[in-house]
Structure 1
């Protein structure tokens, strides 16, 4: 039997694990493990971690996996509440100053939302205070983008997505819209509410132990895409919400906050299928040309 080159100790642990990984033929995985293992071992050493604490961490991760399903992703919540999702987003979405900032996707996006005619309502059950959302999709210079696709979703008036609330119709408060030549978009919805992220699982217990609340400020989600442009995942946050400065998932950016205003303009109300007075929110969205397009110069 071949003798061990050296024993696995506090001092040798990291080098031994890295040496065992040297046969990996995947360059990116090799790079990741070469960074991850030393950092993970450094945490264990710095904390002088006990066996009981490590088993508690394993139990926490096990519970996080067990509560996850096709309608709930607890690992995304964990990533969000630790700021990892927003950090990854920041690294992968280094934008020009003149475009709309990105923010987290969140765990409640659903593929296959219905495509609607411009001006349609995404509120299928009619509950809540009506809200008109209107704006334009533009490029970095303010030129309208034709054919931009907006995938939109939000909570109900009491703070639940349709996937959380069996009393809501499927695909309630979700819709897909496509801009015309002027880049203009508008749709009807209801005023969303601030809400707690799911806090009945391990992530909720973690937040409680940390003395943190689980609340997110009221917002509307957007994924906006167009040919030749970087796709944008973002929110529009409602000004005045009490949780803007303490969003549980760190998603708020100043440039994404908008006022909900009241209009008494009967002509605009009639043109938008609403009754005056009505609530409205105006927001333009600016996309950035793809890197290859930018290097060639934006196309007219």
Structure 2
């Protein structure tokens, strides 16, 4: 019998006994991670003191989460999202220097290989919704414009659905596009005003939210992935600050710095220039990219 196998389990020494069995782990990082998880889990159990029935209910809940997962639906990611863990992992892995734009979660509806469009193009292909123009500049942390930066953009429509959720209803690549900045680092494109929408809530995570008295909604936003030579890639959103769910995003993705000014505009001359039929929404937002980390290229 090896020394680490001699401990007999008690309520008091449970952490030491269980973590001691991991001494021969082949991966030091795995052992360190499991030591923390075991310690925190045992601390939680000792504080909560669940009944046998309550613990079995917890196991049944996690089993139901697993059963809800398939090639399209990842209920464990959804659980991570609503517990704020996804945003915490994102924050830890995307610490930015002062002045750089902040990141947020990617979300499940990004589609690779969206078409590259000329600057100013309208990404709304079905002409449904309230017209909107989005514009601004991409700069580095020293304020210099970044030429040749790419903006991969996508959004939900005015009913809160992405094109991939409504195959046969929305055109493919509706409200998606890739744009590339010119020498002055400016960008602009046309779209429609997005609407808030619920995360999937027909499964165990939705039941958990309901039991906690929480809604499943995400406030209206536009998604961006920005890339440029010599800079860290940025995955982020911009949000409508007047959205009814702006202070209670179900997945905690809102950051104060990502609130944009969605301005309702009545300017017939500019509307004509933009190809809009009347009033429109004007959104201006500048992005600041952090320098690439040493030894790391574009993701």
The question of a shared fold, defined as TM-score above 0.5 by the shorter chain, is answered with: yes
TM-score, normalised via structure 2 length: 0.90
The question of whether the paired residues in 1 share the 8 Å contact of 2:130 and 2:280 is answered with no
Does residue 8 of the first structure (1) align with residue 9 of the second (2)? yes
Partner residue of 1:288?
Answer: 290
Deviation string 1:92-129 (CA, Å, 9 cap, x unpaired) is 22222312111122222232322222222222222111
Partner residue of 2:243?
Answer: 241
Partner residue of 1:296?
Answer: none
| Greater CA drift, 235-244 or 63-72 | 63-72
2:174 is aligned, of 159, 172, 181, to: 172
**DSSP 3-state at the match of 1:250:** coil
Partner residue of 2:253?
Answer: 251
| Greater CA drift, 167-176 or 181-190 | 167-176
Aligned equivalents of 2:131 and 2:265: distance in 1? 12
Task: Describe how 1:160-239 pairs up with structure 2 within 5 A.
Answer: 160-166=161-167, 167-239=169-241
Q: CA deviation at 1:263?
A: 3.5
**DSSP 3-state at the match of 1:242:** coil
Aligned equivalents of 1:111 and 1:59: distance in 2? 36
**DSSP 3-state at the match of 1:187:** strand
The question of whether the paired residues in 2 share the 8 Å contact of 1:76 and 1:107 is answered with no
| Greater CA drift, 237-246 or 91-100 | 91-100
Aligned equivalents of 1:18 and 1:181: distance in 2? 57
Partner residue of 1:149?
Answer: 150
**DSSP 3-state at the match of 2:21:** helix
TM-score, normalised via structure 1 length: 0.90
What is the number of equivalent residue pairs in this alignment? Answer: 293
Task: Describe how 1:1-300 pairs up with structure 2 within 5 A.
Answer: 5-166=6-167, 167-292=169-294
The question of whether the paired residues in 1 share the 8 Å contact of 2:139 and 2:185 is answered with yes
**DSSP 3-state at the match of 1:70:** coil
Q: CA deviation at 1:16?
A: 2.5
Q: CA deviation at 1:267?
A: 4.9
**DSSP 3-state at the match of 2:257:** helix
Aligned equivalents of 1:6 and 1:88: distance in 2? 35
Q: Unaligned stretches of 5+ in structure 2?
A: none
Deviation string 1:224-259 (CA, Å, 9 cap, x unpaired) is 111211111111111211111111111112221122
The question of whether the paired residues in 2 share the 8 Å contact of 1:194 and 1:218 is answered with yes
